[in-house]
Amino acid sequence: MELCIIGSGYVGLVTGACFAEVGHSVICVDNDQRKVDMLQAGKIPIYEPGLEELVMRNVAANRLRFTNSIQEGVDGSQVIFIAVPTPPQPDGSVDMTFIERVAREIASALKPGQYRVVVDKSTVPVKTGERVAATIQRYNKEASFDVVSNPEFLREGCAVPDLMKPDRIVIGCGSERATDLMKRVYEPFMAPILVTDINSAELIKHAANSFLSLKISYINAVSAICEASGADVEMVADGIGMDRRIGRQFLNAGLGYGGSCFPKDVKAFIAIAEEIGVPFGLLKEVERINESQLERFLRKMRDGLWVLKDKKIAVWGLTFKPDTDDVRNSVPIELINRLVNEGASVTAYDPKGMEKAREWNLIPDSVKLSATPLEAIDGAEALVIATEWKDFANQNLNDVRKRMHTPLVFDGRNLFDPQTMKDLGFIYYGVGRAAAK
């Protein structure tokens, strides 16, 4: 099929590449000419495992191309996906400017008698589909189209496998013709398809992400109880996670959730619920627990180091999670800023996130960035593990201890085992775990 994806960010680009991989002919549109030039020259603006090969292969096979023209995309495609950002506004509600503009642009590009399916892939408030349809109609009375909500559930860092082998495809649609076309788009993925009305599909996305955030906040709240009672949150998570009704995934206690989805989507869901007159207090508590997790971690650091001012602290990890270069809304970045504000001298290392953290001025200039994890800890009085990169777990811990000035480790992701760390001579603090005896 001929498909058009408007917006070549994380979601748009990976979706376009995966659609091309299963044999569709895909045109990706972006209004950022620099990005289009880069992609046309074979350069991928983001780091996502497996994406570069996928893009290269499909560009070479003539199944994937890039343009800045919505007209070109709309002219040649049966199905048009919208994958533009829906950033949060200061009050937590969603900024719909980009979606609205794209809806207007699609309206002016649609030719009479030319049926198109317009699919919303961006995460949007419930009832957006209705508004997109009304907007297209208002700006083009002759347009023949249907609007579909098809939320995307991919995770950064494993976006390609998530998209190629999804748990489910949600198609929110009120028209049989559009549903049939959408089923054809997804047929090659051989995944379960759930067809719903548009409003339900839109709600599924916010409800799913908020539920996963709730799971993380739940285990983080349990981690505080574990610390106060001498229990071990990893064992508790294993024990409850073995119940198939609960599952072990997303029960990893740590510094709290970050990234460009969970914080934004929980806030948006709270605002959406508020707006339609059904306040969602449970989610406000989810947020509160998430924020308090970093505070508790900092208290632990103050407890271990007494005073943070002038302490030489190494931080491993800048990205909001491993296997990505994404440093937006990253708890590790927030942590580093807090440490610097308290006067600590911070040296950091991250396998993929250092360039963007600097480029976007997310960390103070005083933070030194090291070429290797070991270089970062030279003479450090404490090491913080802020992101659970495999690279960190594979370090030789004897070398780590020898290079440090004092062997204090604050492990914000429970990457190491407390007893092993103690046996190696470290003073070790995890999250929700009693210190080894």
Q: Give the residue numbers marked as catalytic.
A: 261
Beta bridge partners of 118: 80, 147
Which one, 139 or 250, has the nearer CB to ligand UDX?
250
| 254 makes contact with ligand UDX (CB under 6 A) | yes
| 221 makes contact with ligand UDX (CB under 6 A) | no
Number of residues that bind ligand UDX (CB under 6 A): 19
**CA distances for 319 relative to 25, 157, 172, 329, angstroms:** 33, 11, 33, 9
Query: Which range touches ligand UDX (CB under 6 A), out of 54-62, 151-159, 279-287, 337-345?
Result: 151-159
Residues 6+ apart with CB under 8 A from 392: 316, 317, 373, 385, 415
| 258 makes contact with ligand UDX (CB under 6 A) | yes
Query: Which range touches ligand UDX (CB under 6 A), out of 45-53, 148-156, 178-186, 268-276?
Result: 148-156
| 386 makes contact with ligand UDX (CB under 6 A) | no
86, 135, 209, 217: which one binds ligand UDX (CB under 6 A): 209
- Of 436, 433, 339, 352, the residue nearest 392 (C-alpha): 352
β-strands 193-196, 312-316: how paired? unpaired
Which one, 116 or 121, has the nearer CB to ligand UDX?
121
Which one, 240 or 305, has the nearer CB to ligand UDX?
240
Order of strands across the sheet with 312-316?
368-369, 345-349, 312-316, 382-385, 408-411, 427-429
Beta bridge partners of 348: 315, 369
105, 156, 227, 350: which one binds ligand UDX (CB under 6 A): 156
Tokens representing 254 are: 């740590």
State the Cα–Cα distance between residues 85 and 260, nearest whole angstrom.
Answer: 10
- According to CB under 6 A, which residues from 294 to 323 bind ligand UDX? 320-321
Which one, 133 or 270, has the nearer CB to ligand UDX?
270
State the Cα–Cα distance between residues 318 and 320, nearest whole angstrom.
Answer: 7
Q: Provide, rounded to whole angstroms, the least separation between the CB of residue 205 and ligand UDX.
A: 8
Tokens representing 30 are: 């972006």
Which one, 254 or 407, has the nearer CB to ligand UDX?
254
Which one, 16 or 254, has the nearer CB to ligand UDX?
254
| 385 makes contact with ligand UDX (CB under 6 A) | no
Residues 6+ apart with CB under 8 A from 429: 300, 301, 304, 408, 409, 410, 411, 435
How many other C-beta atoms are found inside a 10 Å radius of the C-beta of residue 50? 15
Query: Which range touches ligand UDX (CB under 6 A), out of 86-94, 146-154, 378-386, 393-401?
Result: 146-154
| 257 makes contact with ligand UDX (CB under 6 A) | yes
> Which spans of this chain sit near ligand UDX (rule: CB under 6 A)?
152-156, 209, 212, 216, 250-252, 254, 257-259, 261-262, 320-321
